[in-house]
Amino acid sequence: MTGATNGHLREITRRTALGALGAGIIGATVASWPRLSGTDIPGRGDNSLSIAIMGTAADAAARQRAIDAFTRLHPEIKVKVQAIQAVDWKDFFTKILTMVAAGTPPDVVYVATEGAQLFAEKLAHPLDEYVRRDAADMREFFDDVHPSLVEAFMYKGSLYQLPMDWNAANMYYNTTAFAQAGLERPADDWTHVDFRNRLAAMRKARTSDFTPYYWTNRLFGGVVPWLYANDTSFLKETRSTGGEWLWDGFYANDPSRSLRSGGYQWLEPNANDDRVFESFDYLRGLVKDGLGVRPEEGGGSSLVGLFASNRIGTTPAGGYWVQGLHEAGMGANDFDVQFFPRWKTQRHQFGTAGYAIMKTAKDKDAAWEWIKFSSSREAMELIFPNPITTPARRSMVNEQLYAGKGPAHWKVFYDTLDRFPTTGPIPAPPQQAAVETALMKNVSLAVSGDERQLKQALSSMQRDLELALRRQS
Amino acid sequence: MSTTSPHRERPKRTARPAAKALANPGAGRSAGPATAGSARHSQRWLAWIFLAPTILGMGLFTLIPIVASVVLAFFRWDIISAPTFVGFDNFSEVVQDPTVRVSFLNTILFVVVAVAFQLGLALALAIMVQEKMPAWLRVFFRSAFFFPLILSAASVSIFMRYLFNEQFGVVNWFLSLAGIPAVPWLTTPGGSAAVVILVYVWQNFGFSFLLFIGGLASIPVETYEAASIDGATGWRKHLYVTLPLLSPTTLVASVMAIISALQVFDQPYVLTRGGPGDSTRTAVMVIFESAFQRLEFGQASAIGVLLTLIIMAITAAQFRLSKRFVFYQ
């Protein structure tokens, strides 16, 4: 075969022709193939219900007991649990999104408040039809779970998850440090001024190798509990309409029924609010006077060890800390917990977590059966045998759970919701990752310098939050 | 040009017997042109078969991702919905984004300081080890200085976080023995930048050190002897003999150090998460945050393309400048 090229005749050899044919066949095959994904790998695409949770091999025994109990109930549903290790929830969601990008999304994902709206907006399937269908079975669950936890999983009038566990930012204190400073247990309604005085007393009693108040720079337990106590936040909080089907169906007689909505919305930044400035200024004062640490970004990994070795006086944390302190060698009376100090209000911050069904789930009915089973008392007792978190069921937060481990006032955990029903979730819109970065990156600067630096940091935060919320959701 | 041109024919005539000899040793000159052609043909196939895994690997894991990420830079894609073509929007948004601008500036600043520190330290230690140490100690130091490089950067950064903790870190404890008050290493812009550079250099200078050791060993002793006869002593010997003759090694070490430093991620991500403020946020961190935290894969690709262009430009400039400053023996 010959062809004219630049005025010269060019010979096309048989080999060239065969090569071109081969390349064409490969190209056509690739082009016509549906998107190649991880499920095309032999052995990956079976029909089991794939469940992704944040966890490690250490939790495997409790998990397996729950799977076995589920399999006895539903032998027709094959369950495969993937425990994904992650530093924090943001890291966990990143890994789930990578699985989505690879074409191997799980069917069910354990999602915390930090990612609830991201999943509701983009990835999750609402549970409304299932909850309505199995209302008779679900009534017992909702009777045992505080509506604030459920509301955290409402998004634009639909329910996307059932809360399994949760934690509020309460105030832990080291009883040895308190005793050394001659301090008694604070009153339930102690104020931010009382708190500061106690820190000063502890500082006076121990001048070195000790921090009266240790806090971390993150969305949970960082600056936000102080903002909530001061009746403000770094984002403007509004509520969606809708959700009456749930509230009237399950919480009609709850004293806080009138407070409930179709879900939280955080649509605008609020870092330039005067009370935000006031709250940051308070924390800046603690840092300046050596009463509190300058918080590191992403810090907190050494917290349990430092607290257990009596080098920290107070820190905000939830029920998830009890088992860690016990394992670090703290006795039941070596620490205790109290409500977060009052300022304008005593509204607390909490985070909760539960299973979400992915839009891409192959068998959503099977996924719902897993969620329904997991919310049962039997399953939750198998999954949470120790105080590694606070179970969403009020009846499970009992003396038996904390026996021999403390704290003495464990009732504070669930009372946070019962006594302060306006207690709110971690502010986490669908753009949570960008919002969290915008908050975290400005906190250290805000509390580390003079008043001028604080104002600059808050205006920078306002600008960063505007950008973050403007990003596609 | 016709394939029958004598210029094309000549190498064929010489290549055929060689190819035949390789394919069928001992066959001698008795085989005809058809056998020789067949041997050449099968040898080519053999070459392709041996090259295929590498070509396939590079195509699948290097070439296709590079092309895909350049293409992706022109789309808005959150990995969940279908991608939308947006032209140069991602590039214009990226250029206007103050965080991206700051992270690129941070990266450049980091490269200048860290690479200078890394090469200077590596060279000084290499000269010291090569000249002042007995042979057995030389072996020890070569291994000791290289050791941090084989550790995981994330693990190193995690334990460095403990060492540099303001309240409870060992570093501040040692400083306190000298009466120096606690330094807020990881919570102030200056302190955190210093720690990130320090940790990065500590972990990476071993590679440059080994290159310099190799370079120093290749300098003939006679050159130093000649320099001594000419009256050169001490640092003048290094200035006028060692540095010029080490320039090819310095070029390689600096190219590799700069490319690696421009892609720094692990140390600032684990140590400071880019903070306080944006003080330790780097270009690769912004790529990671855009893609996997904000789901803006198009923007992440656009930043990646810009970073690649910068790396290529810097490397090209280095090689161009090397014509003036690099001396080969």
pLDDT tens readout for residues B292-318? 888 899 999 999 999 999 999 999 999
Measure A30 CA to nearest chain B CA, in Å.
13
Show which of residues 129-188 on chain B sit within 8 Å of chain A, judged by CB atoms: 158, 161-162, 165-168, 184, 186-188
Residue B75 pairs with which residues in a beta bridge?
B85
| A48 contacts A78 by C-beta, under 8 angstroms | yes
Q: What pLDDT digit, counting tens, does each position of A201-255 carry?
A: 999 999 888 999 999 998 999 999 999 999 999 999 999 999 999 999 999 999 9
Interface test with B, best of A1, A88, A203, A297 (most B CBs within 10 A): A297
Where helices occur in A33-110 by DSSP H, the ranges are 60-73, 89-101
Cβ of A9 under 8 Å from any chain B Cβ? yes
Cβ of A464 under 8 Å from any chain B Cβ? yes
Residues of chain B with Cβ-Cβ distance to A437 below 8 Å are: 274, 289, 293
Among A370, A230, A216, smallest CA distance to A294 is for A216
CA-to-CA dists, residue B142 to B136, B152, B205, B307, angstroms: 10, 19, 11, 33
| B192 contacts B185 by C-beta, under 8 angstroms | yes
Q: How many CA atoms lie within 13 A of A238 on its CB side?
A: 10
Q: What pLDDT digit, counting tens, does each position of B171-213 carry?
A: 999 999 999 999 999 989 999 999 999 999 999 999 999 999 9
Query: Helix crossing, A274-288 with A192-205: angle to 10°?
Result: 10
| B269 contacts B288 by C-beta, under 8 angstroms | yes
Cβ of A16 under 8 Å from any chain B Cβ? no
What pLDDT is attached to residue B206?
A: 96
Interface test with B, best of A30, A437, A439, A448 (most B CBs within 10 A): A437
CB contact under 8 A, A457 and B277: yes
Measure A73 CA to nearest chain B CA, in Å.
34
Show which of residues 162-181 on chain A sit within 8 Å of chain B, judged by CB atoms: none
CB contact under 8 A, A444 and B278: no
Among B199, B147, B191, B158, smallest CA distance to B172 is for B191
Residue B2, both tokens: 């016709």
| A224 contacts A234 by C-beta, under 8 angstroms | yes
- What's the rounded Cα separation, in Å, for the pair B21 and A421? 90
- What's the rounded Cα separation, in Å, for the pair A435 and A219? 9
Q: What pLDDT digit, counting tens, does each position of B57-85 carry?
A: 999 999 999 999 999 999 999 888 889 99
Show which of residues 223-262 on chain B sit within 8 Å of chain A, judged by CB atoms: none
Among B251, B246, B270, B222, smallest CA distance to B314 is for B251
- Contacting residues for B216 by C-beta, under 8 A, at least 6 apart: B126, B127, B130, B242, B246
| A116 contacts A160 by C-beta, under 8 angstroms | yes
Cβ of B266 under 8 Å from any chain A Cβ? no
Cβ of B295 under 8 Å from any chain A Cβ? yes
Residues of chain A with Cβ-Cβ distance to B296 below 8 Å are: 471-472
**Total count of residues recorded for chain A:** 473
Measure B45 CA to nearest chain A CA, in Å.
12
Instruction: Characterise B274 by phi-psi region: left (phi > 0), alpha (psi -120 to 50), beta (else).
Output: left
Where helices occur in A388-431 by DSSP H, the ranges are 399-402, 412-419
- What's the rounded Cα separation, in Å, for the pair B76 and B84? 5
Where helices occur in B73-134 by DSSP H, the ranges are 89-96, 98-132
What is residue B73's DSSP assignment? T
Residue B76 pairs with which residues in a beta bridge?
B84
Under-50 pLDDT residues of chain A:
1-9, 473
Cβ of A306 under 8 Å from any chain B Cβ? yes
**Tokens 């060698």 map to which residue?**
A329
Q: What pLDDT digit, counting tens, does each position of A46-97 carry?
A: 789 999 999 876 678 888 999 999 999 999 999 999 999 988 888 899 899 8
CA geometry: angle B278, B281, B286, nearest 5 deg = 115
- What's the rounded Cα separation, in Å, for the pair B320 and A291? 56
CB contact under 8 A, B166 and A293: yes
Measure A391 CA to nearest chain B CA, in Å.
29
- What's the rounded Cα separation, in Å, for the pair A468 and B280? 19
DSSP string over A234-276 = SEEEEE-S--HHHHHHH-TT-TTGGG--S-EEEEEE-TT-HHH
What pLDDT is attached to residue A44?
A: 57
- Measured in degrees and rounded to the nearest 5, phi and psi for residue B247 equal -60, -35
Cβ of A310 under 8 Å from any chain B Cβ? no
| A233 contacts A320 by C-beta, under 8 angstroms | no
Residues of chain A with Cβ-Cβ distance to B99 below 8 Å are: 464
Side chain identity, residue A278: E
Confidence bin at B108 (pLDDT 50/70/90): very high
CB contact under 8 A, A445 and B276: yes
- What's the rounded Cα separation, in Å, for the pair A225 and A169? 7
Measure B171 CA to nearest chain A CA, in Å.
14
What pLDDT is attached to residue A377?
A: 96
Cβ of B79 under 8 Å from any chain A Cβ? yes
Side chain identity, residue A305: G
Among B270, B51, B316, B240, smallest CA distance to B160 is for B270
Measure B222 CA to nearest chain A CA, in Å.
56
Residue A91: closest C-alpha in chain B: B293
Residue A265 pairs with which residues in a beta bridge?
A238
DSSP string over A340-379 = PPBSS----EEEEEEEEEETT-S-HHHHHHHHHHHTSHHH
CB contact under 8 A, A471 and B296: yes
Mean pLDDT calculated for residue range B138-166: 92
- What's the rounded Cα separation, in Å, for the pair A330 and B24? 79
What pLDDT is attached to residue B329?
A: 63
CA-to-CA dists, residue B271 to B102, B161, B282, angstroms: 18, 6, 13
- What's the rounded Cα separation, in Å, for the pair A459 and A438? 11
Option in A94, A445, A472 nearest B277 (CB): A445
CB contacts < 8 Å between A and B, how many? Answer: 95
Considering only residues A27 and B216, tell me which one the structure prediction assigns the higher pLDDT: B216
Largest CA distance in chain A: 102
| A426 contacts A278 by C-beta, under 8 angstroms | no
CA A68 to chain centre: 27
CB contact under 8 A, B276 and A101: no
Cβ of B1 under 8 Å from any chain A Cβ? yes
CB contact under 8 A, A294 and B187: yes
| A161 contacts A347 by C-beta, under 8 angstroms | no
Where helices occur in A48-189 by DSSP H, the ranges are 60-73, 89-101, 113-118, 128-133, 135-144, 147-151, 175-180
- What's the rounded Cα separation, in Å, for the pair A53 and A83? 5
Measure A372 CA to nearest chain B CA, in Å.
27
Residue A243, both tokens: 């959700």
Option in A100, A211, A294 nearest B184 (CB): A294
Show which of residues 353-372 on chain A sit within 8 Å of chain B, judged by CB atoms: none
What pLDDT is attached to residue B19?
A: 42
CB contact under 8 A, B289 and A8: no
| B262 contacts B153 by C-beta, under 8 angstroms | no
pTM summary value: 0.83
What pLDDT is attached to residue B232?
A: 82
What pLDDT is attached to residue A115?
A: 95
CB contact under 8 A, B1 and A123: no
Cβ of B5 under 8 Å from any chain A Cβ? no
